[in-house]
A and B are shown apart, each in its own frame.
Chain A
Amino acid sequence: MRVREEGPADLSGATGLSAQEIAARVRGGELSALGVIEEHLARIERWEPSVHAFNLVMADEARERAAAIDALVEGGADPGPLAGVPVALKDLLCTRGAPTTCSSRILEGWRPPYDATVVKRLASAGAVIVGKTNMDEFAMGSSTEHSATGPTRNPHDLGRVPGGSSGGSAAAVAAGFAPLALGSDTGGSVRQPAALCGVVGVKPTYGLVSRYGLIAFASSLDQVGPFARSVADAAAALDAISGHDPADSTSLPGPHESAASRLGRGVDGLRVGVIAELAGAEGIAPDVARALEGAAEALSSAGAKVEEISVPSVTYGLSAYYMIAPAEASSNLARYDGVRYGLRMPGQDVTEMYMATRSAGFGPEVKRRVMLGTYALSAGYYEAFYGKAQKVRTLIIRDFEQAYRTFDVLLSPTAPTTAFALGAKTADPLTMYMNDVCTIPSNLAGHPAISVPFGTGDDGLPVGAQVLAPALGEPLMFQVAEVLEQAAKGQAK
């Protein structure tokens, strides 16, 4: 059974509007923010039990906030570019006073005493937080099955995964629970679920969006990214949250061009490189490969010069990632020790307490990665594992730099298959890790990438095409993504 079996056109009323439409109408006084929220909350009430996109629906807070937005409008003030727009937040973004759990038992019920910078920026833009979404625990996973609160289901087929780790956010947007959502992307955790759920998902340039208040998984790879049902909405969301933050030392100094600044220009004359090693990778399903060919053709028809390009080092990306990310994670997750907040299990002494707390509080995937990461950093192994992986990162960056001398953007599949069945890939971790093969290289390089729905698989489930751009190439990236989106809509008719 599908949540959207009635079809996207049946996202009636406000739940069918884009974020920009909502904002324009709320600002203009045509729509009340409270009315918008009520419609979304009603949809959530109807379909959330089947989907489980949320760990927490913040209905009262949302109504209060929406009413405040309406009051601002009535008073003649402008609440901001996302006025009244419902937004769902992945449950690793700190929201002051509201539980932020990372879908982990170890942070069950933990209320941060502060807001993440992106949360503050959304509030300044007039957005209305509608809830905290489900995820793979501590962002470690590609299916949202590694969650202490149970799996999220794909709105297109409730027997299938939505992807991960930001599966809840992707599903929320796909199911019409909110037109916008934020997730985090460390190895593909926004783009891959976006592809599986048939929505747009963006990983920005590393440092473009503040990580302050984003509960860390792998610090040199993590970025907050938006989900939306249109490229334009995603660009608007990115614009609302991006920009320098003095609270984040890795935040890029501004100012930056608006992500939306090149929308509408088409792709005439642009050079698009199809990454051979990804398009032809082992494990890319034939229907996904076909969809990608379709995407390449669409760009070509629209005037782009599309060719294949080899970016050899990307094949080492998976291995490098599964050294670097767990290593950083093992250190980032050390703080969950039962001393200051979160779960505490009893122990005769503090070490016993640490062990009991962490063993009970972390799920198996988190434990696996923490141990893998600890191993990769440990005495005697650093150079062979972590050290070497950081060198592979350099190779990938160099190969991308080389590619961008001849191409403006690159193209690849986002995920190797359409959404797989719940439980299909949980037996062998490595099988699950393979889901990230196309998305990981951008994280390692710090480059932006976007997944745009393009076509369907043999099973009728969504497929995503990934556009990659060089650092701070968001405007160009969105420019190309928009053309794909238009082509996809044209084909769907």
Chain B
Amino acid sequence: MASVPEPISKEQVAHVARLARLSLTEEELELYTGQLASVLAHAADIEALDIADVPPTAHPFPLSNVLREDEPAPCLQRDEVLAEAPEVESGRFRIPRILSEAP
């Protein structure tokens, strides 16, 4: 059965902000928590629906097997790519140091 989740808390908003790589001031955290809570509260109407057996729709139309041939296509010129880059060094994108390993 559907259960109505608790209203979203400041801690939860702070957590999703971190996940989304957004930093919020204390004021923003307060403001957004209230706003998100009201949007989520409105979604209570679908929370209440008992539709466990209804299959989800990821795509409006069931296309399948859209493929392309393994044939090379023209690449971008490197200088066009790097022209828009904030910082470049030896043909690569330069970024500040990374503190963690990739998953």
Contacts and interface: CB of A to CB of B under 8 A. Distances in A.
B96 A339 contact: no
Nearest to A316: B46
B13 A384 contact: no
A428 B36 CA distance: 11
B89 to A, nearest CB: 13
A315 B40 CA distance: 16
Given A339-B93, A394-B54, A397-B57, A362 B22 contact: yes
B83 to A, nearest CB: 8
Chain A's interface: helix, strand, loop or mixed, by majority? Answer: helix
Contacts of A315: 45
- Interface class of chain B by DSSP: loop
Given A344-B86, A368-B35, A375-B36, A388 B22 contact: no
Kindly state the interface size class of chain A when it binds its partner.
35 or more
A338 B63 contact: no
A18 interface: no
B56 A391 contact: yes
B56 A370 contact: no
Interface residues of B, number: 52
B103 interface: no
B22 A370 contact: yes
A353 B95 contact: yes
B86 A371 contact: no
Given A113-B76, A207-B60, A356 B51 contact: no
A319 B96 contact: no
A394 B96 contact: no
Interface in B33-57: 35-36, 38-40, 42-43, 45-47, 49, 51, 54-57
Contacts of A110: 84
Given A353-B95, A374-B20, A340 B85 contact: yes
B46 A249 contact: no
A47 interface: no
Interface string A322-348: 110000001000100111111110111
Given A358-B20, A359-B22, A384-B5, A430 B42 contact: yes
Contact of A249 (B22, B54, B66): B66
Contacts of B68: 246
A322 B60 contact: no
A395 interface: yes
Contacts of B42: 318-319, 322, 430
A236 B32 CA distance: 43
Given A339-B93, A371-B16, A374-B16, A429 B23 contact: no
A253 B95 CA distance: 42
A371 B38 contact: no
B70 interface: no
A430 B40 CA distance: 10
A385 B43 contact: yes
Interface in A209-257: 220, 246, 249-250, 252-253
Nearest to B82: A340
A356 B35 contact: no
Interface of B: 2, 5, 8, 12-13, 16-17, 19-24, 32, 35-36, 38-40, 42-43, 45-47, 49, 51, 54-61, 63, 66, 68, 76, 80-81, 83-87, 93, 95-100
23 contacts: A113-B84, A220-B59, A220-B60, A250-B66, A252-B61, A318-B42, A340-B85, A341-B86, A350-B96, A355-B21, A355-B22, A356-B23, A368-B36, A370-B20, A371-B32, A371-B36, A375-B13, A378-B16, A392-B49, A394-B56, A394-B57, A397-B60, A445-B60
